[in-house]
Amino acid sequence: MTHAFSKLGMAAALGTLLIAGGMSGCSSLSTDHVDCNVVKLQTESGRSDAEIASAIGASVKDVAKCHGTEKSGNKTSDAAIPSDY
């Protein structure tokens, strides 16, 4: 009976390690993810891209990607305004 509990304990430990390893691996797949909402707020408060990048632990290049045209759904916000006005 103790042999069965031993096997069950090892299986539980192995399962826990696999789940923990899988979860930590998912976060390291994409290192260039930057929250553009944070960048926008920080830019509005007067911070430079270099300061923002340093504060959030990203590269200046990744922060600069957030300065593109605003998007609303599948269209840019510029396309929502008719050009004949």
**Cα distance between residue 6 and residue 76, in whole Å:** 60
Instruction: Decide if 50 is inside a domain.
Output: yes
72 in Cβ contact with 80 (< 8 Å)? yes
* Torsion sign across C-alpha atoms 25, 27, 31, 32: positive
Which strand (E) or helix (H) includes residue 75?
strand 75-76
Instruction: Decide if 1 is inside a domain.
Output: no
Instruction: Decide if 23 is inside a domain.
Output: no
Query: pTM of the prediction?
Result: 0.45
Instruction: Decide if 59 is inside a domain.
Output: yes
Instruction: Decide if 36 is inside a domain.
Output: yes
Expressed as residue numbers, the domain containing 38 is 31-70
Instruction: Decide if 6 is inside a domain.
Output: no
Instruction: Decide if 16 is inside a domain.
Output: no
Structurally, the chain folds into a number of domains equal to 1
pLDDT tens per residue across all 85 residues of the chain: 677 777 777 777 777 777 766 665 554 445 557 889 999 999 999 999 999 999 998 999 999 989 875 555 444 555 555 555 5
Instruction: Decide if 85 is inside a domain.
Output: no
